[in-house]
Amino acid sequence: MTPASVPRPRTRPAWAGRNYSLLTAAAIITGLGTHGALIAAAFAVLESGGDGGDVGLVAAARTAPLVLFLLIGGAIADRVPRHRVMVAANALNCVSQAAFAWLVLAGDPKLWQMMALTAACGTGQAFFNPAAEGMLMSSVSGEQAGRAFALFRMSMHGAAIGGAALGGAMIAAMNPGWVLAVDAAAFAVAGALRGFLDVAHIPARKPGGGLLSDLREGWQEFIGRPWLWSIVAQFSVVVAVVGAAESVYGPLVARDELGGARPWGFALAAFGVGTLCGALLMMRWKPRRLLLAGSLCVFPLALPSAALAVPLPVAGLSAVMFVSGVTIEVFGVSWMTALHQEIPEEKLSRVSAYDWFGSVAMLPLSTAVAGPVEGLVGRGPALWGCAALVTLCTAAVLLVPDVRNLTRRSATTEVVAASGKPSSADTEGAVGRLG
């Protein structure tokens, strides 16, 4: 056997192709930078003389354009090569974060300046997210898609935990502006990596009737699938109440009942570890009924609100947060696998945009009214109400037959779906898959 004929050992799994590897590496880099920058932005506001209300305004300035431009971003990402949208969005984020860093390092940044630059960053994310999700889903195929999505999400969560820890350490040692500068550099590197993505395998888009026509077509794809719109409607409530419980009530309970910020930090860290473990679980487990398994795993998201309402001691709260972190990853990977399996490639970004929009649209409102609701009914009843809403919405979505019955396709059914001709094995197994 000649040296040329000796097979080279694989350095990565067969399902982790070039595009997937580039996307994962770029996501890790931006995750490390962004999660430190979120902490740095808050401290930059406070060190410039702002208060908690000003921190909220800067956070809202990031969220508002994300909600406003998501649908447009999804339509554009299905009209032009997705990697170009991603690179352009990264460039905008790089410039805005670099300017933010310069203002903070120069001293005395104005609130309106910080809000404007943060809004530019949120705008970039609105265009980036649908393009990135569509690009990720088009980069994997076959029965290993769920494993690929699990590894991608595990990498993102690891980067988020590491980025928050690194950002906190850097802020303790130096000016927050340097953390923002690192985030700008991370966007530059990630954008360069995404510029090397290969889109030759993606069919050329047919000429459309314009942006509104594309949005209408995406809406028809979205609303025509009961499992899709029902779960997005469910998560519009779930994300809103969980967000209010964890971003508003959680720190208050920690301050008043648990001894300060450190216990809440432990609980959030436990959630992060749970997401990593959940993603690791989903690299091996492939539930047959994707959305049934995923939706059942949404019920534990009610537990943190209930634990805060009691409140449980730190150990109990951390255990609850860990469990909710594991189970939300079961849902997340199952959801991405269902989208990858059921949505036509040329409409992935538009459908993803409607998914993102529906899921986050109520979050700014819920966090804004959390304080007044607490003043009206009390913190405990408000938290029990959050837990009840998660439970009721999740129970309601299980009444949708498509949510209970949508089944993971095997390699055989993928071939049958492509050919349009049922095989005898497919016919015999149809009742078993859908029943």
Residue 389, pLDDT > 50, answer: yes
- CB neighbours (10 Å) of residue 173? 8
Angle (deg, nearest 10), helices 111-138 and 18-47: 160
Residue 413, pLDDT > 50, answer: no
Which residues lie below 8 Å from residue 111, measured CB to CB, with a gap of 6+? Answer: 45, 48, 50, 54, 57, 58
Which residues lie below 8 Å from residue 329, measured CB to CB, with a gap of 6+? Answer: 150, 153, 157, 274, 275, 277, 278, 279, 281, 282
Distance between CA atoms of residues 250 and 193, nearest Å:
38
pLDDT tier for residue 430 given thresholds of 50, 70 and 90:
very low
Residue 38, pLDDT > 90, answer: no
Residue 159, pLDDT > 80, answer: yes
Which residues lie below 8 Å from residue 285, measured CB to CB, with a gap of 6+? Answer: 330
Looking at residue 103, its amino acid is L
Q: Is-contact 230 400, C-beta < 8 A?
A: yes
What's the pLDDT score for residue 410? 66
- Tell me the pLDDT tens digit for each residue of 254-263: 878 887 667 7
What sign for the dihedral angle of Cα 378, 383, 385, 386?
Answer: positive
Phi, psi of 81 (to 5 degrees): -55, 130
Average pLDDT over residues 334-350: 85
Task: Give the Å distances, CA to CA, from 179 to 35, 98, 124, 186, 233.
Answer: 10, 10, 19, 10, 36
Residue of 201, 203, 149 whose CA lies nearest to 16: 149
Ramachandran bin of 422, using left for φ above 0, alpha for ψ from -120 to 50, beta for the remaining angles: beta
What's the pLDDT score for residue 395? 96
Give Cα 349 distance to the centre of its chain: 14
Residue 358, pLDDT > 80, answer: yes
Angle (deg, nearest 10), helices 261-282 and 314-342: 40
Residue of 78, 24, 20, 19 whose CA lies nearest to 197: 19
pLDDT tier for residue 203 given thresholds of 50, 70 and 90:
low
Distance between CA atoms of residues 319 and 306, nearest Å:
13
Residue 356, pLDDT > 50, answer: yes
Looking at residue 258, its amino acid is L
- Tell me the pLDDT tens digit for each residue of 304-318: 999 999 989 989 998
Q: Is-contact 354 218, C-beta < 8 A?
A: yes
Average pLDDT over residues 387-409: 93
Looking at residue 87, its amino acid is V
Q: Which residue has the tokens 């077509």?
A: 217
Distance between CA atoms of residues 14 and 4, nearest Å:
21
Average pLDDT over residues 52-60: 69
195-199, 266-270, 391-395: range with lowest mean pLDDT: 266-270
Average pLDDT over residues 379-396: 94
Residue 422, pLDDT > 60, answer: no
Average pLDDT over residues 9-25: 73
User: At CB < 8 A and 24+ separation, what contacts does 430-435 make?
Assistant: 433/288, 433/407, 434/405, 434/407, 435/405
pLDDT tier for residue 247 given thresholds of 50, 70 and 90:
confident
What's the pLDDT score for residue 417? 40
pLDDT tier for residue 324 given thresholds of 50, 70 and 90:
very high
- Geometric angle at alpha carbon 235, from 23 and 377, rounded to 5°: 135
What's the pLDDT score for residue 353? 83
Distance between CA atoms of residues 293 and 287, nearest Å:
7
